[in-house]
A and B are shown apart, each in its own frame.
Chain A
């Protein structure tokens, strides 16, 4: 794949990168670093993209590998905060916004692997596709997803009540 062609394709799918950076990085600076790193890794691997899988699936694989292997010195007392951009459609806007925030907080506290599952799940990937990207079976994905959903429900509720 030519560089120009790759840049166009990557820009078309940059939402994937934004989503992963948003869920994996702690702050804007980290998000920027991670975004660059994923782009770089994808570029390095781009000559091996043969089009057998969808570009988005291929990009997910590179992005998750980079995000999971992402290692940065932990900043002490770092609290992840999310700015709210919830659409103005619900009647009880404030309440939903609080619930979304609580859910994001719960996701931020998940392990790197669970975050990968959540990212793919939120992007409507099937368990089979998730398994292919992660290198595990669809059954294993299903078991893990159940665990994650239960955990998020409980943690989300806890964060919501304390907010």
Chain B
């Protein structure tokens, strides 16, 4: 049997399916949650946003009502970073909205734009996470040194010691490597297969 011989059978099969009314388009169907990759990223972004809001709320609370009042200064440093995080999230959210409008462009354009968006998202996500992790680690290290110092003068003395800085840099390096590996793993779990599938399809179309 050749492919052309299949035409009447496929038509018949589909008509039969439709007749059975297994599925028919109705209004309710159009307001359900989408399951495609772009929508998944969208919901992941929303989750990140809520996490960031939670972190922000915690830091603000700790800055103004926490027992360690001097932590305020560090938290004031952290706040712009969190705000930058929000800005990044909203920027991607906007881009994703644009990508959703690619549904009716040709298949190659749609696949390419989705892949580019996904890769851009992954790059930015990695850079931002590293930056955020670095800041958190830096603050945590400085806070622990301050907590172990008797007053501001002792704290400054400690910070002027190069051996202390060597230790700080060592801690940062270790944590940053761990944060990098964790983020990479996280990205691979969530988006790795999607990117691979998109690349495969694009290659096949262009072949």
Q: Using a CB–CB distance below 8 Å, which chain A residues touch chain B?
A: 3, 6-7, 10-11, 14-15, 17-19, 21-22, 28, 31-33, 35-37, 39-45, 48-49, 58, 61-62, 64-66, 68-71, 82, 85-87, 96, 99-100, 102-103, 111-114, 116, 118, 121-122, 124, 132-136, 148-149, 152-153, 156, 160
Contact = CB atoms under 8 A, between A and B. Distances in A.
Contacts of B3: 103, 118, 121-122, 148-149, 152-153
Contacts of B100: 44
A134 B205 contact: yes
Nearest to B10: A122
Contacts, number: 156
B103 interface: yes
Given A68-B201, A153-B2, A7 B30 contact: yes
Given A71-B37, A113-B204, A136-B205, A7 B14 contact: no
B1 A49 contact: no
A133 B111 CA distance: 12
B32 interface: yes
Interface of B is mostly: helix
A39 B29 contact: yes
Interface residues of B, number: 50
Given A40-B30, A136-B108, A18 B23 contact: yes
Contacts of A85: 12-13, 16
Interface centre among B30, B100, B114, B201 (most CB of A within 10 A): B30
Interface in B1-30: 1-3, 5-10, 12-18, 22-27, 29-30
A65 B110 contact: yes
A45 B35 CA distance: 16
B12 A49 contact: no
B12 A43 contact: no
Contact of B17 (A18, A64, A111): A18
Contact of A100 (B6, B14, B35): B6
A133 B24 CA distance: 25
A95 to B, nearest CB: 10
Nearest to A156: B1
Contact of B197 (A36, A37, A71, A82): A71
Given A19-B10, A71-B194, A100-B6, A61 B204 contact: no
A22 B14 contact: yes
Contact of A10 (B25, B104, B110, B111): B25
23 contacts: A3-B27, A7-B30, A10-B25, A18-B14, A18-B17, A35-B23, A37-B36, A41-B36, A45-B104, A61-B103, A61-B106, A61-B107, A68-B107, A68-B201, A70-B36, A103-B3, A103-B6, A112-B201, A118-B3, A134-B107, A134-B108, A152-B3, A156-B1
Contact of B104 (A11, A62, A111): A62
B104 A58 contact: yes
B34 to A, nearest CB: 5
